[in-house]
Chain A
């Protein structure tokens, strides 16, 4: 199989991971305008949930059941991160609506605390999650092998995306959510409990971060600072794609994944990152509205 096809698959794989990480942000940042720097730690929590699930299955269930742990880990990771997100919203975020820069800093503090908590509980060194048997190996295609893990993550992203789309655009709860994000006062007048919608929205964004963490545990070891490096890329995806649009986030992730893979292929990992950053800044010269489109007719 040609090098180009392998590259294509790789970029699709990188994009899918970026997208999975950015989807949760697309909700909390894109819809609620809250800069949640602890998003990386919610991912970390999801990853450790997978780790805990693995250990539980290995310790208490027959060995033949072990392969099923990952199927349980995904919903479990969603639930744990969802609950942490719910607590975070109730305890902190709700004081910070309309203060995006402050939300950024305060949630960074939360991230510090959560990281240290993970260090205290699980220890500072990275831990490995043993992937279930059915995800090892790969699909042979014209002489090259597409790893099942990568394929699985691509599938997981597509499922998550569809679920999010159905929730946001096709369900009553999603309609309430969009109503509150677009016009808070009006929605409140129509009898929508904006407090509950805020909490739910933030918690769902957090839950998706948990799912992303679960997926990350498949492709490498996990540690307390797992989220720190993914978070920057994830924010770039949301910024690049245009804030507040699900489709934009998908496009942003695909764009960044493709460019990242090809630049790294042509140059090397570190120069590739520089080029991607340069491309993003260049793109913003051409379309800064991608960033500020929401406020065309108002002053400040």
Chain B
């Protein structure tokens, strides 16, 4: 009875907390300025990346320093559509004219259509991730070696993007958008709509990731993380699982790129480079790896503080971020969320001791559920 009570109560509290977060996200447009709302929308897109990173790093033990690329490819795909839309039919994007390109390159053609661009912005990152995963996980290249390869991937993709200026816009990237599906990107109501789409995408990604990390599938992922060699001898092929989650994670980053470019209005190589890629990992590390809420909250928290602090004290911000990174990795492997959970458990334990013994047992019993 007691055990059931505690479980039910816990479920109610968690449900209420989720409801509160969703309500807060829904009401934000009412009390935030357009500028702030746009920023929040961008952070929500980052939150989607963080969820995908946590899925592979926190739950499956694959550290990718290459998610900027997947994010960037998603963003570029959408940016190509927006650019063509803004340029108008029959004309060439400005940067192509400057570089002396005379006709639209063939690989730009599909991006005339919003649906195709949206699809490709998720599928291309997934395809690239699948390829890299196929050539690494199958050969048991993992751990730091895999991580180094993902970083090398960033370096070459960015070099390629900058090098092929005539087709990609080079260092400046792609910008100067006007409409999406006929709606003006400058209008406040469209911005509001994009915010809501970002919020919905974050909630949707959260539900997807939660579906993956819970239940039998999540247990296999955890086993891949903690002992993939052992898992082989139980008849599982860890490489397939690694490829699968890595691909899903890249797709989420691509989706986030779409949301980003729609709200920020520009994408350039510097937003997908080595440093932004590792910053994405940092959100997860600080927020709390191995906890989806922690990862998403980390992305929001870090970016909010960054936009607050780095405007006024840019030097101080870098020192703080670097220092925080060191402290969290060395002393708080589960991030701030893990710290909160531990404090929460301690407080709960303290309360349990203070109350009648029966309730304390209920808490213990819960662990054995």
User: A residues bordering B, Cβ < 8 Å?
Assistant: 35, 92, 95-96, 100-102, 104-106, 108-113, 115-116, 119-120, 228-229, 232-233, 235-236, 239, 268-271, 273-274, 276-277, 280-281, 284-285, 288, 291-292, 299-300
Contacts and interface: CB of A to CB of B under 8 A. Distances in A.
B322 A104 contact: no
Contacts of B318: 112-113, 115-116
B13 to A, nearest CB: 33
A113 B163 contact: no
Interface stretch (B40-48, B79-87, B149-157, B355-363): B149-157
The listed residue with most A CB atoms (<10 A of its CB), out of B155, B229, B333, is: B155
Contacts of B151: 232, 235
Nearest to A275: B156
Contacts of A277: 152-153, 156
A30 to B, nearest CB: 12
19 contacts: A35-B147, A96-B330, A101-B143, A102-B330, A104-B147, A106-B325, A106-B326, A106-B329, A109-B326, A113-B322, A229-B155, A239-B145, A269-B159, A273-B155, A280-B152, A281-B149, A285-B139, A299-B230, A300-B227
Interface string B160-197: 10111000000000000000000000000000000000
B272 interface: no
Interface residues of B, number: 46
B63 A101 contact: yes
Contacts of B160: 270-271, 273-274
A141 to B, nearest CB: 32
Nearest to B65: A104
A162 to B, nearest CB: 28
B148 A235 contact: yes
Interface in B118-144: 132, 135-136, 139-141, 143-144
Given A239-B145, A284-B141, A109 B152 contact: no
Contact of A288 (B141, B143, B228): B141
Interface of B: 63, 132, 135-136, 139-141, 143-145, 147-149, 151-156, 159-160, 162-164, 227-230, 274-275, 278, 281-282, 285, 315, 318-319, 321-326, 329-330, 333
B315 A119 contact: yes
Nearest to A225: B275
Contacts of B135: 281, 284-285
The listed residue with most B CB atoms (<10 A of its CB), out of A95, A268, A270, is: A270
B309 to A, nearest CB: 13
Contacts of A291: 141, 145
A288 B136 CA distance: 9
B73 to A, nearest CB: 15
Contacts of A232: 148, 151-152, 154-155, 274
The listed residue with most B CB atoms (<10 A of its CB), out of A119, A276, A281, A300, is: A281
A95 B330 contact: yes
A140 B230 CA distance: 61
B273 to A, nearest CB: 9
B325 A105 contact: yes
The listed residue with most A CB atoms (<10 A of its CB), out of B154, B228, B274, is: B274
B145 A228 contact: no
A273 B315 contact: no
A113 to B, nearest CB: 4
Contacts of B324: 109
Given A105-B325, A112-B318, A273-B159, 4 more contacts: A106-B329, A235-B151, A273-B156, A288-B141
A35 B163 CA distance: 30
